Structure 1
Amino acid sequence: MSQQTWTAVDDYFTDCLIAADPPLDAVLKANTKAGLPAHDVSPTQGKLLHLLVRLKGAKRILEIGTLGAYSTIWLARALPEDGRIVTLEADPKHAQVAAANIERSGLGSRIELRVGLALESLADLHAENSGPFDFIFIDADKPNNPAYLEWALRLSRPGSVIIGDNVVRDGAVVDPDDPDPRVQGVRRFLEMMKADPRLDATALQTVGSKGYDGFTLAIVR
């Protein structure tokens, strides 16, 4: 199997199962025009996040890593009218693009964008008693994944769902000696999930337009 095949299948699923969505297409175009890295989730992945939020019946979402707000908007659309998502972005340029995308989406009343280092923003949320969150999506710098998981647990409650993205690293995650700090961050993240009795977790490998990767899914006991 090749990347070309994976992308073609993803495109087929998107055409079959996801309605044409000019507003979200405009988000991706704005991100590309602004030179943001192409790290957005795919449409099928965005729809998966959307459906998981609806299945959970979540009203409060925490997203660690906004980029241009493509996944943010998918998540926010799944919220009820009185729902809210807090999304954290460290890069001011990314946040500026995200803010414009959020404004155009018409979902600004449901989305709070916080700009700054995620670890500082998470500490602020905790100090403000902003939790608990029903659904937490971790999709930021991988070396800090272990710390993000610690904060996610502090800001969650029994029944909260925690999703971690990009955990396969093209298969490098199986190599304990890989020098890439992103790989080591993911490995520690997974080891913490295994050892923590508060979590019931699994991981899935994926292929598609974003290449070979995967995600973790955990429920707080």
Structure 2
Amino acid sequence: MSDTETAGQARWDAVDDYFTGLLSPEDDALAAALADAGAAGLPPINVAPNQGKLLQLLAQTQGARRILEIGTLAGYSTIWLARALPADGRLITLEYEPRHAEVARANLARAGLDGVTEIRVGAAAASLKALAQEGQEPFDLVFIDADKPNNPVYLDWALKMTGPGSLIVGDNVVRHGAVADADSTDPSVVGTRALIELLAENPRLSATALQTVGSKGYDGFALARVMS
């Protein structure tokens, strides 16, 4: 990283710290979730606190009663989202790695959210198929934050399990700017570009994407409202 890039990251970190300290401070459950994730050797790829608060506000604005999360990791974003649910709400989160799911279960229980959340372990595509076969009620919000090459698959299932007015949010769609490279062979970039193109092409969706900078570097979100 160049001196200019290092200085830029330091500025982004300082701004995130300022915003987070005032607007989205972590409580003991959130701080412990990150500490346990680090102790278990999980990768530090969770959303930042201010991004978690954004997800919570989106879910509250939606009036979401049912939330689907694709990619649990240690349950940090799960906590933010689940706290937006009403008393009769439900969040189902999908995690491929059993070890990650074990850490997430403990984190959700400590946060007092084990009664409104459910972690399903296994390949997300298989879990999504099983959910659809169960005849689950439509989800009000879907957060896609798993392996990026399968983004198109996850969007397809999300559309099958949502209805008019539902919100679909995709994380990490900028890839440090690589998403603009049409010649990239990086599977994560290819999968992300496919996601964005599907959002643009699908007549059922009204979508946009935003670039972000902060403690997590240079990245962004895609947001799509299901219109029909």
Q: After TM superposition, is the score higher than 0.5? A: yes
1:3-33 Cα deviation digits (max 9, x unpaired): 1110110001011112451110000000011
* In the alignment, structure 1 residue 184 sits paired with structure 2 residue 181: no
Aligned partner of 1:47 in structure 2 is 53
Distance (Å, rounded) in 2 between the aligned partners of 1:130 and 1:116: 18
* In the alignment, structure 1 residue 172 sits paired with structure 2 residue 178: yes
Aligned partner of 1:109 in structure 2 is 115
1:41-95 Cα deviation digits (max 9, x unpaired): 0000000000111111000000000000000010000100100000000011111
The one-letter code sitting in structure 2 at the alignment partner of 1:83 is G
The one-letter code sitting in structure 2 at the alignment partner of 1:199 is L
Structure 2: gaps of 5 or more residues: 1-6
Aligned partner of 2:94 in structure 1 is 88
TM superposition shift of 1:149 = 0.3
The one-letter code sitting in structure 2 at the alignment partner of 1:80 is P
* In the alignment, structure 1 residue 27 sits paired with structure 2 residue 40: no
Distance (Å, rounded) in 1 between the aligned partners of 2:80 and 2:197: 29
The one-letter code sitting in structure 2 at the alignment partner of 1:172 is A
* In the alignment, structure 1 residue 216 sits paired with structure 2 residue 222: yes
1:173-199 Cα deviation digits (max 9, x unpaired): 000111100000000001111110000
Distance (Å, rounded) in 1 between the aligned partners of 2:35 and 2:123: 26
Aligned partner of 2:4 in structure 1 is none
Aligned partner of 1:68 in structure 2 is 74
Aligned partner of 2:3 in structure 1 is none
- SS of residue in 1 equivalent to 2:207: strand
Relative to the length of structure 2, the TM-score reads 0.96
Relative to the length of structure 1, the TM-score reads 0.99
Distance (Å, rounded) in 2 between the aligned partners of 1:217 and 1:20: 25
Residue of structure 2 aligned with 1:9, choices 15, 26, 47:
15
**How high is the sequence identity, in percent, across the aligned residues?**
60
C-alpha root-mean-square deviation of aligned residues, in Å?
A: 0.8
Q: How many residues align?
A: 221
* In the alignment, structure 1 residue 123 sits paired with structure 2 residue 95: no
1:85-127 Cα deviation digits (max 9, x unpaired): 0000001111111111111111111101100000000000000
CA contact (8 A) 1:89 1:117 kept: yes
CA contact (8 A) 1:125 1:131 kept: no
The one-letter code sitting in structure 2 at the alignment partner of 1:119 is A
1:154-189 Cα deviation digits (max 9, x unpaired): 000000000000000000000011110000000000
The one-letter code sitting in structure 1 at the alignment partner of 2:200 is K
Distance (Å, rounded) in 1 between the aligned partners of 2:190 and 2:40: 30
Structure 1: gaps of 5 or more residues: none
